[in-house]
């Protein structure tokens, strides 16, 4: 087992293993440092790695519209959704209008990635405001595509660039994307046919959900020492007996470094 | 009108802004920080428009400028932010102060609201809002039972703007608007907006001849009968990019975001770039020919 790998490589490999052949994965264009790494770069690297390893028929939707972009043509991570850089990046299809290539309500998109300022104990996410909706302490950008990500996609990976207790709350201040309130039965009662958050990925751990109760829980921690880290105990979360996030294999690291990201554009 | 041809739809920025009354529901073309009709929005600021409602899809410095100048009462959209330049500072301050109301829509439904207007429908149906605060906080969205399947569906109100303002590359004096062959979602959404409203104002980089339009008829996606007024405004989206013509003015956006940090510094920005300048030509001279020419990008129609 190779023990020399970065946190970003560990997350990339674990995400990649969870994608299946012929799936369609959707990633937005998140900007700025760690947010861009977790929201865009790691998802792109993971989908590319899956295509090389076991899922050659997977379709990558970059910024939602560039189908299977040629990432090897990039010298930098794009930071604009709709300007000339991304327009001129070679790809298999452009979505030029709405409605366009994908039929989002028919379930064309198997999985997506989102970020959030708050996640609560049933996996609801919030990107709208902190504090009371009508008089917020902090007004954020708005729901964007989160309602669709969390209701219409087959599953969702919520990517948090920091593992702060303040990002995990009892109840989010605004539900812009629905988690698993009341578990699978609760989602069905809300008229949601499937989907919802699969994992919440942070620099410390991967969380998933008890689908009967709908409760968030630790799935794995990246470092054994975090099983006893007092900062990891909040809400009802208890890391003391969870697995260690499975490390990359030598082959995965080799493909990732040599084929997927040889110029270190994605995982710097 | 500055043109003697009785058929001409060509007007000035001041004439276009005069078509937008205080209290109007205004839809602004472009997306996030891309291709907004900024020259016309600066004219709205200059004329001191008040109590506007912006009905949008994904907004950015368009809404932020109007919010910072006190022109807005309400915004109905899925996003207001400056993407890589951070949160929209004036929008954020106005909402946190309780001076600006936001009605939050999911992104796809914000697009569908303009499809509803285009189809003259009184609502657009959807089935996926259960459990969200988008639904819980918006009394204009009504639950109903599907008459075919008996499932619970939600009726989302149409966008129904009073006026649509867009920015495009080229149009002729009859109002035929050309779109680049390789366009992206923002230009596609401009079409949804432009096709669903009776008053549509389009600012363009260049007014071209009727012969030029006929040579590009396949790219005339908003024919003249849809258009109320055409205004020539070169670099009319600055500091936003126009796909196929020029890129984002990064330095200007950075200065804008910094200026937005306080009411005082933003007032100084407005003085410098709006109130103290007589017109769009003076704005372009202030930004500077060298700066503008450095923004050119080279895709073609």
- Does A128 touch chain B if contact means CB atoms closer than 8 Å? yes
Contact between residue B180 and residue B187 where contact means Cβ atoms under 8 Å apart? yes
Tokens of B241: 């990019």
Of B34, B87, B129, the CB nearest to A82: B34
Q: How far from chain centre, in Å, is Cα A51?
A: 17
A64, A98, A147: residue with CB nearest B129: A147
Q: What is the ipTM of this complex?
A: 0.96
Q: Phi and psi dihedrals of B88, rounded to 5?
A: -80, 105
Q: Which of residues 261-300 of B touch A (CB under 8 A)?
A: 297, 299
C-alpha A37 chain-centroid distance: 11
Q: Does A111 touch chain B (CB under 8 A)?
A: no
Residues of B in contact with A105 (CB under 8 A): 126-128
Residues A203 and A35 sit within 8 Å (Cβ to Cβ): no
Indicate yes or no: CB of A82 within 8 angstroms of CB of B248: no
Task: Give every CB contact of residue B278 below 8 A, 6+ residues apart in sequence.
Answer: none
Q: What is the pLDDT of residues A3-62, one digit of tens each?
A: 699 999 999 999 999 999 999 999 989 888 899 999 999 999 999 999 999 999 999 999
Q: Say if residue A2's pLDDT is above 60.
A: no
- Distance from the Cα of B220 to chain A's closest Cα (Å) equals 15
Asked if A100 lies within 8 A of B185 by C-beta distance, the reply is yes
**CB atoms < 10 A from the CB of B215, how many?**
13
Q: The tokens of A148 are what?
A: 């669709």
- Asked if residue B241 has pLDDT above 80, the reply is yes
Mean pLDDT of A86-95: 92
Whether the predicted pLDDT of A165 surpasses 50:
yes
State the average pLDDT over residues B99-106: 98
Banded pLDDT at B252 (limits 50, 70, 90): very high
Cβ contacts (< 8 Å) between B102 and chain A: which residues?
Answer: 139, 142
What is the rounded distance in angstroms from the CA atom of residue B44 to the CA atom of residue A234?
50
pTM of the model as a whole: 0.96
pLDDT-based confidence at residue B297 (cuts at 50, 70, 90): confident
Residue with tokens 């993971």: A46
List Cβ neighbours of A19 (8 Å cut-off, separation of 6 or more). A25, A46, A47, A50, A55, A58, A111
CB < 8 Å from A in window 38-77 of B: 58, 77
Beta-carbon separation of A191 and B247 below 8 A: no
Nearest CA in chain A to B110: A144
Put simply, the answer to whether B191 touches A174 (Cβ < 8 Å) is no
Model confidence over A219-233: pLDDT tens digits? 999 999 999 999 999
Contact A178 B247 (CB under 8 A): no
Q: Which residues of A touch B139 (CB under 8 A)?
A: none
Q: Do B132 and A187 touch (CB under 8 A)?
A: no
Helix (H) / strand (E) element for B8: namely: none
Q: What's the rounded Cα separation, in Å, for the pair B109 and B80?
A: 16
Q: What are phi and psi of B40, to 5 degrees?
A: -70, -40
Give the mean model confidence (pLDDT) for residues B219-232.
Answer: 98
Q: How many CB pairs under 8 A join A and B?
A: 160
CA distance A18 to A15: 5
B111 touches chain A (CB under 8 A): yes
Count CB atoms within 10 A of the CB of residue A7: 15
Q: Do B243 and A147 touch (CB under 8 A)?
A: no
Mean pLDDT of chain B: 96
Q: What is the pLDDT of residues A183-241, one digit of tens each?
A: 999 999 999 988 999 999 999 999 999 999 999 999 999 999 999 999 999 999 999 99
Instruction: Give the residue from B235, B236, B210 showing the smallest Cα distance to B223.
Output: B210
Q: Which residues of A touch B32 (CB under 8 A)?
A: 81-82
CA-CA-CA-CA dihedral for B211, B212, B217, B222, to nearest 10: -110
A76 touches chain B (CB under 8 A): no
- CB–CB of A123/A200 below 8 Å? yes
Residue window 201-240, chain B: list those with CB within 8 Å of chain A: none
Query: Which pLDDT does position B1 carry in this prediction?
Result: 44
* Residue B263: other Cβ atoms inside 10 A: 12
Mean pLDDT of B280-297: 96
% of residues, chain B, pLDDT over 70: 97
Average pLDDT over residues A246-263: 97
Residue B3 has pLDDT above 80, yes or no: no
Residues of B in contact with A123 (CB under 8 A): none
The answer to whether B180 and B301 are in contact (CB under 8 A) is: yes
Which of A94, A174, A192 lies closest to B130 in CB terms? A192
The pLDDT of residue A31 is 86
Q: Count of alpha carbons within 13 Å of A190, Cβ hemisphere only? A: 27
Contact (CB<8Å) B152/A191: yes
| Closest residue to B34, CB basis, from A83, A128, A140 | A83
pLDDT tens, residue by residue, B64-88: 999 999 999 999 999 999 999 999 9
Residue B4 predicted with pLDDT over 90: no
């Amino acid at each position: 087992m190779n023990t020399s790998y970065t946190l970003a490589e560990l997350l990339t490999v674990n995400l990649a293993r969870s994608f299946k052949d012929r799936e369609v994965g959707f990633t937005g264009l998140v900007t700025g440092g760690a947010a861009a790494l977790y929201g865009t770069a790691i998802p792109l690297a993971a989908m590319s790695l899956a295509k090389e390893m076991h899922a050659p028929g997977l379709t990558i939707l970059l910024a939602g519209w560039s189908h299977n972009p040629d990432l090897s043509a990039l010298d930098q991570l794009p930071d604009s959704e709709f300007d000339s850089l991304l327009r001129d990046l070679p790809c298999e299809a452009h979505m030029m209008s709405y409605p366009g290539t994908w039929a989002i309500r028919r379930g064309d998109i198997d999985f997506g990635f989102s970020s959030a300022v708050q996640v609560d104990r049933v996996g609801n996410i919030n990107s709208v405001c902190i504090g009371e909706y009508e008089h917020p302490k902090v007004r954020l950008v708005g729901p964007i595509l989160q309602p669709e990500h969390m209701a219409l996609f087959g599953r969702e990976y919520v990517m948090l660039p920091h593992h702060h207790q303040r990002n995990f709350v009892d109840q989010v201040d605004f539900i812009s994307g629905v988690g698993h309130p009341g578990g699978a039965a609760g989602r069905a009662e809300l008229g949601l046919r499937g989907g919802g958050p699969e994992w919440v990925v942070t620099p410390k751990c991967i969380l998933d959900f008890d689908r009967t109760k709908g409760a968030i829980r630790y799935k794995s921690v990246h470092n054994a020492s975090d099983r006893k880290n007092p900062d990891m105990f909040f809400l009802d979360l208890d890391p003391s007996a969870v697995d260690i996030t499975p490390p990359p294999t030598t082959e995965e690291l080799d493909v990732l470094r040599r084929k997927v990201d040889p110029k270190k554009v994605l995982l710097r | 009108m500055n043109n003697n041809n009785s058929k001409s739809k060509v007007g000035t920025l001041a004439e276009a802004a005069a078509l937008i009354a205080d209290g109007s529901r205004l839809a602004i073309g472009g997306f996030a920080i891309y291709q907004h009709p900024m020259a016309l929005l600066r004219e709205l600021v200059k004329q001191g428009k008040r109590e506007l409602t912006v009905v949008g899809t994904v907004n950015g410095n368009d809404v932020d400028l109007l919010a910072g100048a006190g022109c807005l009462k309400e915004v109905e959209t899925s996003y207001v932010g400056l993407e890589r330049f951070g949160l929209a500072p004036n929008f954020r301050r106005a909402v946190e102060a309780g001076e600006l109301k936001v009605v939050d829509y999911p992104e796809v439904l914000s697009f569908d609201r303009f499809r509803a207007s285009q189809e003259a429908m009184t609502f657009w149906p959807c089935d996926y809002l259960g459990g969200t605060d988008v639904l819980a906080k918006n009394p204009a969205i009504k639950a109903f039972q599907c008459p075919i399947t008996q499932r619970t569906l939600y009726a989302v109100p149409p966008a129904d703007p009073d006026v649509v303002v867009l920015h495009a590359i080229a149009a002729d004096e009859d109002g035929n608007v050309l779109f680049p062959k390789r366009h992206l979602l923002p230009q596609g959404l401009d079409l949804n907006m432009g096709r669903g409203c009776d008053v549509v104002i389009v600012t363009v980089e260049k007014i071209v001849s009727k012969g030029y339009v006929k040579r590009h008829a396949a790219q005339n996606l908003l024919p003249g009968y849809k258009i109320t007024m055409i205004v020539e405004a070169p670099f009319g989206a600055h500091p936003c990019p126009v796909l196929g013509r020029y890129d984002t003015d990064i330095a200007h956006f950075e200065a804008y975001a910094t200026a937005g940090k306080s009411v005082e510094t933003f007032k100084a920005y407005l003085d410098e770039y709006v109130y103290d300048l007589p017109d769009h030509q003076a704005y372009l001279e202030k930004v500077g020919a060298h700066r503008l020419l450095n923004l050119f990008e080279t895709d073609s129609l």
